[in-house]
Amino acid sequence: MEFPKENFSEWYNEVVEAAGLVDKRYPVKGMHVWRPYGWKIMQNIDNFFREIFTRYGHDEVNFPLLIPETEFQKEAEHIRGFEDEVFWVTHGGLDELDVKLILRPTSETAMYPMFSLWIRSHADLPLKIFQIVNIFRYETKQTRTFIRMREVHFFEAHTAHRTYEEAEEQIKEDIEIWKQIAKKLALPYRIVKKADWDKFPGAVYSLGVETIMPSGRTLQIATFHQYGQNFSKPYEIKYLKEDGEHEYAHQTTFGMSERLLGAIVGIHGDDRGLIIPPEIAPIQVVIVPIVGSKKEEVLEESRRIRDELLREGIRVHLDDRDNYTPGYKFYDWELRGVPLRLEIGPRDMEKNQVVLVRRDTREKIPAKREEYVARIKELLGEIQENLYARAEEEMAKKIKEVSSIDDIGDVQGVAAVPWCGSEECGHEIEDRTEKKIIGVPVDVKKKGRCVICGKETDTVAFVAKPY
Ligand code: ZN
């Protein structure tokens, strides 16, 4: 099987199954089975989340999946945002439930009634928690593995603070955390402020982390929301200040999902399949013995190498399957995106060397037996950096400055467009281009004239087709 990446959508749909990430044959629309290889990658990502959020003072929790309708309906905008996409539980056995339950589409309305019990005084703040759970959304559009699903593997951090300013500081910290996640996953991105009509239901404002897929469509891979007191008021999350007065808490959230894996698949993959960044690869090095006429000796040497690498903390797999040729194994591990292949045969043993092959550049690098461990560590670092650098370069090429509404249609990616910021002009941009304003990049200011009304502005809108 070949994987031409030119037709991105078809390539993506095939590669996620062929590489062993998921099985899409599960008989519920938008719910795919995670297979061991895909789940290991996701777990490596989750474990990094646990490590980094703990380092920044968050605690992990786990809330129930079911939320009573009565709690769900306390924040008006929030309900309106989600009412047409929640799954309902209406019966227990044969009995109709007095209070209907929903499967969480996100956990604000599950958590905040508890926050109001937990938070009493200023000494209880800040409260910083996160959970890694599945959420459910009744998607009616076409579903796509990792990108648009009805059951979503989800990360959500929720915080509560004394003041709006402290909540703002939290969002700055979130961005700092995100930068380290982006590096770990080798994902390029831009941070945008969402248009007011597009923010999270109930938020004061929302920031989106956007990346661009090879199709030119944007993918939102993380969000930060400032809630101010919009949830703390209806949910009665109050604390006693030092001066004896009661005050409502200020809240934020940070959300991410399995979309991150979708972005890794799409952005790093090539015609041969996936390329998994070494930092999160379940297998960083695969050993493929080329036994020739010296089967026992080569296998014994391969096992020795595997053990040496294991002791060095490198995630290594020895492919000693009897019934496949080395050529088939090369193909198989390239498809799965293992960053480095180690070949060893009788001739290499004579020369006291191994041959290393990079998945990203396909370069073949002989390494002496005495120094091959150090070389592998170096190469894994180089591959990680190369993946990030070349993905960032690709992304930068897909963002084009445009000064006329008529030129937006031609952009395969993101059009950076002068916009006065008004809702009318925003909607007109969207209607006339059949694209969306995905947001205003937070660190870009550029003088220009709004492409609709001609007013002078230094605001730039990113206009694109999002997933
Ligand atoms: Zn305008």
Residue 94: what pLDDT? Answer: 97
| DSSP-derived secondary structure for 371-387 | THHHHHHHHHHHHHHHH
Let me know whether 253 and 339 are in one domain: no
Query: Phi first, then psi: what are they for 219, rounded to 5°?
Result: -130, 125
If you measure from the C-alpha of residue 422 to the centroid of ligand 1, how many angstroms do you get, rounded to a whole number? 6
If you measure from the C-alpha of residue 418 to the centroid of ligand 1, how many angstroms do you get, rounded to a whole number? 9
Sign of CA dihedral 148, 152, 155, 161: positive
Residue 321 covered by a domain: yes
If you measure from the C-alpha of residue 428 to the centroid of ligand 1, how many angstroms do you get, rounded to a whole number? 9
Residue 106: what pLDDT? Answer: 93
Nearest of 316, 286, 261, 314 to residue 35 by alpha carbon: 261
If you measure from the C-alpha of residue 440 to the centroid of ligand 1, how many angstroms do you get, rounded to a whole number? 14
Residue 2: what pLDDT? Answer: 63
Q: 151-199 pLDDT, tens per residue?
A: 999 999 999 999 999 999 999 999 999 999 999 999 999 999 999 999 9
Let me know whether 70 and 40 are in one domain: yes
CATH number at residue 447: 3.30.110.30
Residue 394 covered by a domain: no
Let me know whether 207 and 326 are in one domain: no
CATH number at residue 137: 3.30.930.10
The span from the CA of 292 to the CA of 198, in Å, is 62
pTM: 0.96
Cβ atoms 303, 318 nearer than 8 A: yes
Let me know whether 343 and 304 are in one domain: yes
Single residue among 268, 303, 320 that ends a domain in this structure: 268
Chain centroid to Cα 354, Å, comes to: 35
Let me know whether 224 and 337 are in one domain: no
Tally of domains within the chain = 3
Residue 348 covered by a domain: yes
If you measure from the C-alpha of residue 450 to the centroid of ligand 1, how many angstroms do you get, rounded to a whole number? 5
Let me know whether 102 and 249 are in one domain: yes
Residue 231 covered by a domain: yes
The pair of three-digit structure tokens given for residue 466, joined into one six-digit string: 């999002």
Predicted confidence band at 256 (pLDDT cuts at 50, 70, 90)?
very high
Residue 266: what pLDDT? Answer: 98
Residue 5: what pLDDT? Answer: 80
Residue 388 covered by a domain: no
Let me know whether 131 and 67 are in one domain: yes
If you measure from the C-alpha of residue 463 to the centroid of ligand 1, how many angstroms do you get, rounded to a whole number? 14
Helix spans in 73-187 (H):
76-82, 108-118, 164-185
The pair of three-digit structure tokens given for residue 263, joined into one six-digit string: 């972005």
CATH number at residue 290: 3.40.50.800
If you measure from the C-alpha of residue 88 to the centroid of ligand 1, how many angstroms do you get, rounded to a whole number? 42
The span from the CA of 27 to the CA of 215, in Å, is 28
If you measure from the C-alpha of residue 190 to the centroid of ligand 1, how many angstroms do you get, rounded to a whole number? 23
Whether the per-residue pLDDT at 1 is higher than 60: the answer is no
The span from the CA of 207 to the CA of 189, in Å, is 12
If you measure from the C-alpha of residue 429 to the centroid of ligand 1, how many angstroms do you get, rounded to a whole number? 9
The span from the CA of 246 to the CA of 238, in Å, is 6
If you measure from the C-alpha of residue 462 to the centroid of ligand 1, how many angstroms do you get, rounded to a whole number? 14
Nearest of 391, 411, 390, 388 to residue 461 by alpha carbon: 411
DSSP state of 118: H
Beta bridge partners of 335: none
Let me know whether 331 and 263 are in one domain: no
If you measure from the C-alpha of residue 455 to the centroid of ligand 1, how many angstroms do you get, rounded to a whole number? 6
- What value does the mean pLDDT of the chain take? 96
Residue 392 covered by a domain: no
If you measure from the C-alpha of residue 205 to the centroid of ligand 1, how many angstroms do you get, rounded to a whole number? 21
Let me know whether 302 and 202 are in one domain: no
Let me know whether 306 and 411 are in one domain: no
Let me know whether 234 and 308 are in one domain: no
Q: 265-289 pLDDT, tens per residue?
A: 999 999 999 999 999 999 999 999 9
Residue 79: what pLDDT? Answer: 80
Chain centroid to Cα 108, Å, comes to: 20
Residues 6+ away with beta carbon under 8 Å from 416: 399, 400, 401, 402, 441, 444, 446, 460, 461, 462, 463
H or E segment and range at residue 424? helix 423-433
Residue 275 covered by a domain: no
Q: Which residues of 320-332 are buried (b: 16+ CB within 10 A; e: fewer)?
A: eeeeeeeeebbeb
If you measure from the C-alpha of residue 447 to the centroid of ligand 1, how many angstroms do you get, rounded to a whole number? 13
Single residue among 329, 346, 380 that ends a domain in this structure: 380
Predicted confidence band at 229 (pLDDT cuts at 50, 70, 90)?
very high
Let me know whether 202 and 71 are in one domain: yes
Parent domain of 411: 399-464
Q: What is the average pLDDT across 20-42?
A: 97
Single residue among 207, 239, 268 that ends a domain in this structure: 268
Residue 207 covered by a domain: yes
Q: Which residues of 281-290 are buried (b: 16+ CB within 10 A; e: fewer)?
A: bbbbbbbbbb
